[in-house]
C-alpha cells in the first residue's frame, strides 16, 4: 500500500535534538526441564516458607525435577527456621515447583525473597502452564542480600505452576524463602490488566560515568535501578544505536545494562533506532556505515544488526522480553528508502528486523511504535499501511506526552481503537512530566510553563504523580485487558556535565532534568513510589 503523505502532525517540536523523548533464553529448550506438575488440593501454596518438614531433600508440597539432589530445604531463611536451597558441587539444572488448581481466571502475582552466590547461567522464579506465555523474574546475582522479586501472569486455564529454577555452575547457590501466590487482578484479555510498570534507562550508564549519584526518598544513596525497582518498576527499556560517536547505547553498553536490569528482577525491552543517534518522526537517519547501501544490503543490515545484538543478549543470559523494531516510526525508518511514502519498502525493512527477533527467540514479543498517542487518524493510517504490507507483529506502542499529544480522552480513544481494530495489546512506551519549571543546568529545558499549561497538570512533584496515575488509568481501561502498561521515559537522566542531549557534543546540556524522577538534590521524587501503585 502506498501513500503520499501522512495525516497532519500535531504539536510538532522544532528543536535540534531528539524531539520526542520516553537470564538465559527460554529458546534453549534443551536446558528447560519438562516436569510433571504436582497438583495440590487447594488453590493456595503449600509450605511457602519451606518450614513444614524441616531440613529435607524434598520440601513438603513441592516437587523437584532435573538434578534433584541439588534442591532441598535447609536450616536458615529470611524468616522461620528453614529455606529452599539450590546447590551442587558440579554443574546442575534443577527445578522446584508446585502446581495450583481450581483457580479463577484473572491476574496472579508470585513473589519470593531470594539471594544468590552469583555465577549462575540462569536462576529465576516463574509462573508456567497458566494458559498463556510463561512469566518469570530473574534472581539477582549482584549480592547475597535478601531481595524480594515478583512476576505476574494471567490465569485462564484454572491451573498454574509455580517454579523456582536454577541452571548453574559448580558450587553456585541460591536461597528462596517466603513464596507467595495471590490473585491481583480480574479476568482480562491477553494483557490481563497492568503488567508493565516500565522505565527507560538508556541514559543511565553515561550519567553514572559522568558523576551522577542517586538517593532514595529517605536520602540514602543507592543504585538508581534498585531505587526504581523498589518503587515498583518491573520492566526497563534500552535503546540501541549502531555506531554512536560517544560510545554509549551501542551493543556493548546495552549488554552491560541488560545484566544489571535482569539482576534486579526486571524484564527487558530493547528499542532499535537503526541509526547512530536519535530516531524520531522528524529524523530517521541511516547509520553512517550503511549510508551507501543498496536496498537489499540495507534490508540485510537490519536483520544482521538486530540478530547480533539480541543473540548477544541471549547468550549472556539476558534475553529480551520485548523488542521494538524501530523507534517512533511515524515517518518510516532509514530515510529515504524506508520512508512512509513507500509502505512496501518500509514493510520489508520492518519484516527483516522482526524475522531476526523471531530467529533469536520465538517467545520475544515485537512492538511497533509511533509517537502522538492521541492521534487516531495517524495510527489508523500507519498501521493499515504496514499490515497491508504484510508486517506481522504483537504489540502497538505509543508515545504520549500530554503537553504535545492531546487530551487523555484522545489517548483513551486511540488505544481503545488500536486494541479492538487490530486485536493487539497496547503500551504507552513513553511518557513523562515535569516536577518543576526551574532549570538545573544552563541548557533550556523542553518542559516549561507553557507546556505545563498545555499538559493540564501543575509543574510540581504532585503534578508529576497525577500525570503518571492518569496515563496508567487510561491503559488500565483499554477493553479486554489489552492495555499492558506504561514506560516512563528517562527517569534517571539528571543534569551532569558531559551527558547532554547531543552525543556528538560533550558540552551540550540536558533539556530533560526537570522531567526526571529524581529532584535537583538527586533524591527520588514521590512519583517513584507511584510506579508500583498507579
The predicted-structure confidence for 429-449, as pLDDT tens digits, reads as follows 999 999 999 999 889 999 999
The predicted-structure confidence for 344-354, as pLDDT tens digits, reads as follows 999 999 999 99
Task: Identify the pLDDT of residue 119.
Answer: 81
Chain centroid to Cα 372, Å, comes to 20
pLDDT band at 16 (very low <50, low <70, confident <90, very high): very low
> Grid coordinates in use for 196?
508493565
User: Does the pLDDT value for residue 190 go beyond 50?
Assistant: no
Task: For the chain, give the mean pLDDT.
Answer: 88
Give the pairing type, strands 82-87 and 173-185.
antiparallel
Task: Identify the pLDDT of residue 43.
Answer: 62
**Rounded Cα–Cα distance for residues 246 and 241 (Å):** 11
What percentage of the chain's residues is helix, strand, coil (to nearest 5)?
Answer: 25, 25, 50
Superfamily of domain 196-204+233-432+447-490+518-530: Glycosidases (3.20.20.80)
pLDDT band at 143 (very low <50, low <70, confident <90, very high): low
64, 430, 467, 490: which one is catalytic?
430
3-state secondary structure of 88: coil
Residue 328 a catalytic site member: yes
Q: Where is pLDDT greater, at 451 or 139?
A: 451
Task: Identify the pLDDT of residue 132.
Answer: 78
Other beta carbons less than 10 A from residue 229's beta carbon = 25
64, 178, 328, 467: which one is catalytic?
328
Task: Identify the pLDDT of residue 360.
Answer: 97
Nearest to 324 by CA among 266, 273, 258: 273
DSSP sequence for 252-300: HHHHHHHHHHHHTT-EEEEEE--SSS--BTTB-BPPGGGTT--HHHHHH
The predicted-structure confidence for 246-290, as pLDDT tens digits, reads as follows 999 999 999 999 999 999 999 999 999 999 999 999 999 999 999
pLDDT band at 154 (very low <50, low <70, confident <90, very high): confident
pLDDT band at 39 (very low <50, low <70, confident <90, very high): very low
Task: Identify the pLDDT of residue 248.
Answer: 97
Other beta carbons less than 10 A from residue 211's beta carbon = 10
Select the CATH number that applies to the domain covering 32-185 from these four: 2.40.50.100, 2.60.120.260, 3.40.50.720, 3.30.1490.100.
2.60.120.260
Phi-psi region of 498 (alpha: psi -120 to 50; beta: other; left: phi over 0): left
Residue 430 a catalytic site member: yes
The predicted-structure confidence for 458-507, as pLDDT tens digits, reads as follows 899 988 998 998 899 889 878 888 999 999 999 999 999 999 999 999 99
User: Does the pLDDT value for residue 34 go beyond 60?
Assistant: no
Q: Where is pLDDT greater, at 378 or 2?
A: 378
User: Does the pLDDT value for residue 406 go beyond 80?
Assistant: yes
What letter would DSSP give residue 139? P
Average pLDDT (326-334) is 98
Chain centroid to Cα 78, Å, comes to 29
Average pLDDT (511-524) is 96
The β-bridge partners of 154 are 107
Percent of the chain with pLDDT over 90: 71
User: Does the pLDDT value for residue 187 go beyond 60?
Assistant: no
**Rounded Cα–Cα distance for residues 406 and 54 (Å):** 59
The predicted-structure confidence for 61-108, as pLDDT tens digits, reads as follows 999 999 999 999 999 998 889 999 999 999 999 999 999 999 998 888
φ, ψ at 155 (rounded to 5°): -90, 125
Average pLDDT (234-245) is 98
**Rounded Cα–Cα distance for residues 528 and 158 (Å):** 34
> Grid coordinates in use for 62?
513441592
Average pLDDT (139-151) is 70
pLDDT band at 146 (very low <50, low <70, confident <90, very high): confident
Task: Identify the pLDDT of residue 185.
Answer: 57
User: Does the pLDDT value for residue 24 go beyond 60?
Assistant: no
Q: Which residues of the chain form CATH 2.60.120.260?
A: 32-185
Average pLDDT (192-210) is 92
Q: Which residues of the chain form CATH 3.20.20.80?
A: 196-204+233-432+447-490+518-530
pLDDT band at 26 (very low <50, low <70, confident <90, very high): very low
Q: Where is pLDDT greater, at 528 or 106?
A: 528
Q: Where are the beta strands (DSSP E) in 275-424?
A: 322-325, 332-333, 338-339, 365-370, 395-399
User: Does the pLDDT value for residue 27 go beyond 50?
Assistant: no
User: Which single residue is written with the C-alpha cell 499529544?
Assistant: 405
HSE-CB at 349 with a 13 A cutoff on CA atoms is 29
User: Does the pLDDT value for residue 300 go beyond 50?
Assistant: yes
Per DSSP, helices labelled H in 2-160 are none
Percent of the chain with pLDDT over 70: 89
> Grid coordinates in use for 322?
520485548
Amino acid at each position: 500500500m502506498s501513500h503520499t503523505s501522512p495525516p497532519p502532525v500535531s504539536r510538532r517540536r522544532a528543536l535540534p535534538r531528539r524531539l520526542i523523548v520516553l537470564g538465559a533464553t527460554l529458546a534453549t529448550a534443551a536446558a528447560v526441564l519438562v516436569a510433571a506438575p504436582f497438583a495440590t488440593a487447594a488453590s493456595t501454596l503449600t509450605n511457602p516458607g519451606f518450614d513444614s518438614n524441616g531440613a529435607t531433600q524434598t520440601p513438603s508440597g513441592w516437587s523437584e525435577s532435573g538434578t534433584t539432589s541439588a534442591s532441598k530445604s535447609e536450616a536458615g531463611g529470611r524468616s522461620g527456621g528453614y529455606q529452599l536451597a539450590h546447590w551442587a558441587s558440579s554443574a546442575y539444572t534443577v527445578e522446584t515447583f508446585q502446581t495450583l488448581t481450581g483457580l479463577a481466571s484473572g491476574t496472579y502475582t508470585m513473589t519470593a525473597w531470594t539471594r544468590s552466590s552469583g555465577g549462575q547461567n540462569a536462576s529465576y522464579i516463574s509462573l508456567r502452564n497458566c494458559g498463556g506465555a510463561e512469566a518469570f523474574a530473574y534472581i539477582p546475582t549482584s549480592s547475597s542480600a535478601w531481595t524480594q522479586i515478583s512476576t505476574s501472569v494471567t490465569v485462564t486455564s484454572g491451573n498454574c505452576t509455580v517454579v523456582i529454577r536454577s541452571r548453574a555452575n559448580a558450587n553456585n547457590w541460591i536461597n528462596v524463602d517466603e513464596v507467595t501466590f495471590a490473585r491481583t487482578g480480574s479476568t482480562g484479555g491477553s494483557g490481563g490488566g497492568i503488567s508493565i510498570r516500565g522505565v527507560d534507562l538508556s541514559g543511565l550508564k553515561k550519567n553514572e560515568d559522568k558523576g551522577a549519584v542517586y538517593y532514595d526518598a529517605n536520602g540514602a544513596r543507592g543504585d538508581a535501578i534498585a531505587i526504581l525497582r523498589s518503587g515498583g518498576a518491573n520492566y526497563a527499556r534500552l535503546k540501541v544505536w549502531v555506531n554512536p560517536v560517544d560510545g554509549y547505547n551501542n551493543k556493548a553498553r546495552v549488554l552491560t545494562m541488560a545484566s544489571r536490569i535482569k539482576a534486579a528482577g526486571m524484564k527487558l525491552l530493547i528499542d532499535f533506532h537503526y541509526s547512530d543517534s536519535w530516531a524520531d518522526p522528524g529524523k530517521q537517519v541511516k547509520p553512517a556505515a550503511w549510508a551507501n547501501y543498496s536496498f537489499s544490503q540495507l534490508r540485510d543490515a537490519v536483520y544482521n544488526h538486530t540478530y547480533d545484538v539480541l543473540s548477544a543478549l541471549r547468550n549472556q543470559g539476558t534475553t529480551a522480553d520485548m523488542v521494538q523494531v524501530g523507534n517512533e516510526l511515524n515517518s518510516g525508518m532509514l530515510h529515504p528508502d524506508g520512508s512512509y511514502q513507500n509502505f512496501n519498502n518500509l514493510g520489508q525493512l520492518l519484516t527483516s528486523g522482526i524475522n531476526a527477533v523471531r530467529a533469536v527467540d520465538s517467545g520475544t514479543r515485537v512492538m511497533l511504535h509511533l509517537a502522538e498517542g492521541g492521534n487516531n487518524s495517524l495510527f489508523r493510517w500507519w498501521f493499515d499501511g504496514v499490515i497491508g504490507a504484510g508486517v506481522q507483529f504483537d504489540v502497538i506502542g505509543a508515545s504520549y506526552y500530554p503537553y504535545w499529544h492531546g487530551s487523555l480522552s484522545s489517548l483513551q480513544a486511540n488505544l481503545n481503537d488500536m486494541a479492538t481494530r487490530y486485536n493487539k495489546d497496547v503500551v504507552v512506551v513513553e511518557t513523562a512530566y515535569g516536577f518543576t519549571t526551574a532549570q538545573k543546568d544552563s541548557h533550556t529545558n523542553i518542559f516549561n510553563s507553557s507546556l505545563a499549561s498545555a499538559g493540564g497538570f501543575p509543574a510540581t512533584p504532585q503534578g508529576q504523580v497525577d500525570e503518571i496515575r492518569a496515563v496508567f488509568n487510561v491503559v488500565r481501561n483499554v477493553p479486554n485487558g489489552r492495555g499492558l502498561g506504561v514506560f516512563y521515559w528517562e527517569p534517571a537522566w539528571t543534569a551532569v556535565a558531559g551527558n547532554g542531549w547531543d552525543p556528538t557534543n560533550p558540552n551540550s546540556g540536558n533539556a530533560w532534568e526537570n522531567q526526571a524522577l529524581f529532584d535537583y538534590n538527586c533524591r527520588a521524587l514521590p512519583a517513584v513510589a507511584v510506579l508500583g501503585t498507579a
